[in-house]
Amino acid sequence: MKRATSKKVKQLPATSEWTFEAIDAYHTEIARVAANFDLDTYPAQIELITSEQMMDAYASVGMPVNYHHWSFGKHFLSTEKSYRRGQMGLAYEIVINSNPCIAYLMEENTLTMQALVIAHAAYGHNSFFKGNYLFRTWTNADAIIDYLVFARNYIAQCEERYGEEEVELLLDSCHALMNLGVDRYKRPPKLSLAKEKLRQAERTEYLQSQVNELWRTLPAHDAKPGKIAAPRFPPEPEENLLYFVEKHAPLLEPWQREVVRIVRKIAQYFFPQRQTQVMNEGWACFWHYTLINKLYDEGLLADSFMLEFLQSHTNVVYQPSYNDRWYSGINPYALGFAMWQDIKRICDDPTEEDRAWFPDIAGSDWRETFDFAMKNFKDESFVAQYLSPKIMRDFRMFAILDDEHEAKLKVSAIHDETGYRRVREILSDQYNLGSREPNIQVWNVDLRGDRSLTLRHQQYRKRPLGGNIDEVMKHMARLWGFTVRLESQHEDGTVELVQETRLEKRRGQAEN
Partner 1 sequence: MTRIIDRRFDSKKKSAVNRQRFMRRFKQQIRRAVNDAIQDRSIRDLDNGEQITIPSKDLSEPQFQHGRGGIWEQVFSGNDQFASGDLINRPPSGGGGGRGQGKASNEGEGEDDFVFHLSREEFLDIFFDDLALPNLVRTQLARISDYKTQRAGFTSDGSPMNINIVRSMRGALGRRLALGSPFSARLRELQKELDRVIEESGEDCEEALNLKDEIGRLRAKIEAIPFIDSFDLRYNNRIRVPKPTTQAVMFCVMDVSGSMDEEKKATAKRFFMLLYLFLTRTYEQIEVVFIRHHTVAKEVDEDEFFHSRESGGTVVSSALKLMHEVIAERYAHGTWNIYGAQASDGDNWDNDSPICRELLGSQILPWCQYFAYIEITPGEPQNLWREYEKLSGEHKNFALQRIEEPADIYPVFRELFKKNFV
Task: Enumerate residues 432-461 that contact partner 1 by CB under 8 A.
Answer: 436-438, 440, 457, 459-461
Name the minimum Å distance from CB 17 to partner 1: 15
Residues 331-360 that bind partner 1 (CB under 8 A): none
Does residue 160 bind partner 1 (CB under 8 A)? no
- Pick from 38, 40, 73, 504: which binds partner 1 (CB under 8 A)? 73
Name the minimum Å distance from CB 149 to partner 1: 14
Other Cβ atoms closer than 10 A to 390? 17
Cα 395 to Cα 330: distance, rounded to the nearest angstrom: 9
Cα 115 to Cα 110: distance, rounded to the nearest angstrom: 9
Cα 58 to Cα 133: distance, rounded to the nearest angstrom: 25
* Identity of the residue numbered 479: L
Name the minimum Å distance from CB 392 to partner 1: 9
Does residue 72 bind partner 1 (CB under 8 A)? yes
Q: How many CA atoms lie within 13 A of 301 on its CB side?
A: 25
Binding characters for partner 1, 394-423, by CB under 8 A (x = yes): -xxxxxxxxxx--xxxxxxxxxx-xx---x
Q: Which residue, 196 or 238, is less far from partner 1 as judged by CB?
A: 238
- Pick from 210, 464, 496, 504: which binds partner 1 (CB under 8 A)? 464
Name the minimum Å distance from CB 15 to partner 1: 17
Q: Which residue, 366 or 429, is less far from partner 1 as judged by CB?
A: 429
Does residue 282 bind partner 1 (CB under 8 A)? no
- Pick from 9, 74, 205, 496: which binds partner 1 (CB under 8 A)? 74
Does residue 327 bind partner 1 (CB under 8 A)? yes
* Identity of the residue numbered 224: K
Residues 1-60 that bind partner 1 (CB under 8 A): 20, 23-24, 27-28, 31, 43-50, 52-53, 55-56, 59-60
Q: Which residue, 262 or 347, is less far from partner 1 as judged by CB?
A: 262
Cα 119 to Cα 111: distance, rounded to the nearest angstrom: 12
Q: Is 211 helix (H, G, I), strand (E, B) or coil?
A: helix
Does residue 179 bind partner 1 (CB under 8 A)? yes
Phi and psi angles of residue 486, each rounded to the nearest 5 degrees, phi first: -120, 120
Name the minimum Å distance from CB 223 to partner 1: 37
Which parts of 252-388 fold into alpha helices (H)?
254-275, 277-297, 303-316, 332-348, 352-357, 366-376, 379-386
Name the minimum Å distance from CB 23 to partner 1: 6
Name the minimum Å distance from CB 220 to partner 1: 38
Interface with partner 1 (CB under 8 A), residue total: 99
Does residue 469 bind partner 1 (CB under 8 A)? yes
Does residue 248 bind partner 1 (CB under 8 A)? no
Q: Which residue, 83 or 366, is less far from partner 1 as judged by CB?
A: 83
Q: Which residue, 370 or 480, is less far from partner 1 as judged by CB?
A: 480
Q: Which residue, 40 or 164, is less far from partner 1 as judged by CB?
A: 164
Does residue 100 bind partner 1 (CB under 8 A)? yes
The DSSP output letter for 89 is -
Does residue 145 bind partner 1 (CB under 8 A)? no
Q: How many residues does the chain have?
A: 512
Does residue 471 bind partner 1 (CB under 8 A)? yes
Dihedral, CA of residue 201, residue 206, residue 208 and residue 211, to nearest 10? -160
Does residue 295 bind partner 1 (CB under 8 A)? no
Q: Which residue, 143 or 473, is less far from partner 1 as judged by CB?
A: 473
Cα 129 to Cα 443: distance, rounded to the nearest angstrom: 35
Asked if 43 contacts 100 with a C-beta cutoff of 8 angstroms, the reply is yes
Q: Which residue, 44 or 95, is less far from partner 1 as judged by CB?
A: 44
Q: Which residue, 160 or 324, is less far from partner 1 as judged by CB?
A: 324
* Identity of the residue numbered 149: V
Does residue 142 bind partner 1 (CB under 8 A)? no
Strand 453-458 and strand 101-106: pairing?
unpaired
Beta-sheet strand order (sheet of 439-445): 439-445, 453-458, 484-489, 495-501
Q: Is 442 helix (H, G, I), strand (E, B) or coil?
A: strand
Who contacts 309 (Cβ-Cβ below 8 Å, separation ≥6)? 112, 115, 116, 292, 301
Does residue 230 bind partner 1 (CB under 8 A)? no
Asked if 414 contacts 398 with a C-beta cutoff of 8 angstroms, the reply is yes
Q: Which residue, 217 or 328, is less far from partner 1 as judged by CB?
A: 328
Cα 270 to Cα 283: distance, rounded to the nearest angstrom: 18
Does residue 463 bind partner 1 (CB under 8 A)? yes
Cα 507 to Cα 162: distance, rounded to the nearest angstrom: 14
Name the minimum Å distance from CB 57 to partner 1: 9
Residues 76-95 that bind partner 1 (CB under 8 A): 76-78, 80-81
Cα 256 to Cα 258: distance, rounded to the nearest angstrom: 5
Cα 337 to Cα 314: distance, rounded to the nearest angstrom: 11
